[in-house]
Amino acid sequence: MKKQWIVLTLAVVSALLYVGCKKTQPQSETAVPADSAKTQPSDVIKLTYANFPPAPTFPCVQMERWKTEVEKRTHGKVAVQTVPGGSLLDAKEMMDGVISGQADIGCLCMAYQPGRFMVTNAAALPLGIPSAKVGSQALWDLYSKYQPKEFADVKVLTMFTSAPANIMSKKPVRTLADIKGMDLRASGEAAQILKAWGANQVGMPMSSTPEALQKGVVQGLFSSVEVMKDFKFAELCKYITMTETNIYPFAVVMNQKKWNALPDDVKTVFEELAVEQCLWTGEYMDNHVQESIDWAKTEQKVEVIELSAEEKAQWNALLESNVDEWIKQAKAAGLPAEDIVDDLKASIATFSLK
Ligand code: 3IO
C-alpha cells in the first residue's frame, strides 16, 4: 500500500514538472519544426543563394534575414545555403548564373546591366525618391505592373533599392567646379548622373570598388553611404557631399525549374515574403545609413557637406535631360516609356506620404 502511494506521488510530480517545463519553453521561435520527426534530412529542400558583395553589406544582411524567415516558416522543410562575396556567382554573372542553375537563388543589382533591365532601371532615374523604403515599394510596384520580359526565365522573389546616393570622396566636393573631371565610380543611371555633373565617371560594380579606391583608380564613389561603414570606405573617403539624388535597384531571382519543383506550401511562404522582405530591407537600409553617417563623423572624422540651395539648383538643372534621355532609349526599345515614368512618379508620391 505504502509503495503504491510513492509510485503515484512520483507519477503526479513528474507529470506536473513536465507540464511546467513545456510551458516555459519558447513557442515556435525556433527553426526546429513541431513535426521534426517527419522531416528526414533527405527530405529537406536545399537551396543555394548567391550574392556578390561581402557578408556585412546590406544585400547580404537582407539575404540572411530571408533565409531565417524561410527556414522558420517552412518548419525546416527548406534549408538555404547563403554564399556571399561573389564566390558562387559574381556581380555581373548573377542573372545568367541563376537562369542556368549554377545557383538556385541570386541577388543582383540591376544597374550593372542597364540595357538588360531597362524597365526596372527607370527607378534609378533622378525622380526624387527620398528613402530606401519608398524606393523599394515603388520598384516592386513597377515590376508588378509591367512584368518585364527580362524576368520571364526566372521567379522574382523580391526587389528592393539602396538608399539615395551621395558622393563619397577623398577630396571635398562643394561645388560643380570641384567635381569636374574627378574620377568617381558609379553604375547605370547613377553613372549618367555623374556624367551630367561633369565628373569622369568610372563604371564598375560595388564589389570592385574597394580595390579601385585603394589603388587610386577612382577618387571616390556615388552610392548610398552605409558603405562608408560596411566597406570601411570612411578610412579613405573623408568627405560626403549630400546629393540624395537616386537609388540603385536590386532583384532577388530564383531558377525557374527549382521554383516549379517546390511544394505549394513552400511557394506560398516565398510569395508571402516578397513584399514583406522588400519593406524590411528598405527600413533596415534607411536606419543603417543613419548609423553609418554617425559612425563616419565621430569615429572617422568624415565631413558631411550640404550643398546650398543655389548650388543644389544648379546641380539639379543639369539632370533635367536625364529622364528625357531614358525615355528616348526606352521608346526605341519599344517600351511605354512615358507611362513608366508617370507611374513611378505617382507611386513615389503615394509611398512618400505613408
Ligand atoms: C551596394 C551594392 C553592394 C553592397 C552595398 C551597397 N550599397 C549600395 C549599393 C548599390 C550598388 O549596387 C552600387 O553599385 O552602388
Report the pLDDT value the prediction gives residue 58, as an integer from 0 to 100.
98
Report the pLDDT value the prediction gives residue 147, as an integer from 0 to 100.
98
Task: DSSP letter for 125, please.
Answer: S
Cα dihedral across residues 234, 295, 191, 147: positive or negative: positive
Nearest CA to ligand 1 atom 10: 248
DSSP string, 200-240: EEEE--GGGHHHHHHHTS-SEEEE-TTHHHHT-GGGT--EE
Distance 32 CA to ligand 1 centre (A): 34
Query: How many domains in the chain?
Result: 2
Give the domain range for residue 209. Answer: 166-245+294-317
Determine, yes or no, domain membership for 18: no
Higher local confidence (pLDDT), 10 or 83: 83
Determine, yes or no, domain membership for 197: yes
Cα angle, residue 176 at apex, residues 173 and 181 outer, rounded to 5°: 80
Grid coordinates given for 59: 544585400
- Residues 190, 283: one domain? no
When pLDDT is averaged across residues 54-62 and rounded to a whole number, the result is 98
Give pTM, 2 decimals.
0.89
- Residues 252, 240: one domain? no
Distance 178 CA to ligand 1 centre (A): 24
In the chain, beta strands by DSSP E: 45-50, 78-83, 105-109, 154-161, 166-169, 183-186, 200-203, 220-223, 239-242, 249-255, 303-306
Q: Are 63 and 107 in contact (CB under 8 A)?
A: yes
What whole-number distance in Å separates Cα of residue 130 and Cα of residue 164? 7
Report the pLDDT value the prediction gives residue 42, as an integer from 0 to 100.
74
Would you call 166 helix, strand, or coil by DSSP? strand
Residue 159 zone, left/alpha/beta (φ > 0; ψ -120 to 50; rest): beta
What atom of ligand 1 comes closest to residue 250's alpha carbon? 12
**Side chain identity at residue 231, one-letter code:** F
Task: Determine if ligand 1 sits within 6 Å of the CB of residue 162.
Answer: yes
Q: What is the pLDDT of residues 148-204, one digit of tens each?
A: 999 999 999 999 999 999 999 999 999 999 999 999 999 999 999 999 999 999 999
Determine, yes or no, domain membership for 137: yes
- Residues 210, 262: one domain? no
Higher local confidence (pLDDT), 354 or 17: 354
- Residues 235, 254: one domain? no
Determine, yes or no, domain membership for 301: yes
Task: Determine if ligand 1 sits within 6 Å of the CB of residue 53.
Answer: yes
What atom of ligand 1 comes closest to residue 52's alpha carbon? 3
Give the number of other CB atoms < 10 A from CB of residue 312: 14
Determine, yes or no, domain membership for 24: no
When pLDDT is averaged across residues 70-85 and rounded to a whole number, the result is 98
Nearest CA to ligand 1 atom 13: 206
- CATH number of the domain encompassing residue 104: 3.40.190.170
Confidence of residue 19 (pLDDT cuts 50, 70, 90): very low
What atom of ligand 1 comes closest to residue 221's alpha carbon? 15
Would you call 107 helix, strand, or coil by DSSP? strand
Q: What is the pLDDT of residues 272-309, one digit of tens each?
A: 999 999 999 999 999 999 999 999 999 999 999 999 99
- Residues 128, 215: one domain? no
- Residues 149, 270: one domain? yes
| Cβ burial, residue 221 (10 Å; 0-12/13-18/19+) | buried
What whole-number distance in Å separates Cα of residue 253 and Cα of residue 240? 33
- Residues 154, 285: one domain? yes
Length of the chain: 354
Residues of the chain with pLDDT > 70: what percent? 88
Confidence of residue 354 (pLDDT cuts 50, 70, 90): confident
- Nearest CA to 322 among 160, 90, 121, 106? 121
The answer to whether residue 327 scores a pLDDT higher than 90 is yes
- Residues 182, 87: one domain? no
- Residues 257, 279: one domain? yes
Determine, yes or no, domain membership for 326: yes
H helices within 74-184, ranges in order? 94-100, 118-121, 132-146, 176-179
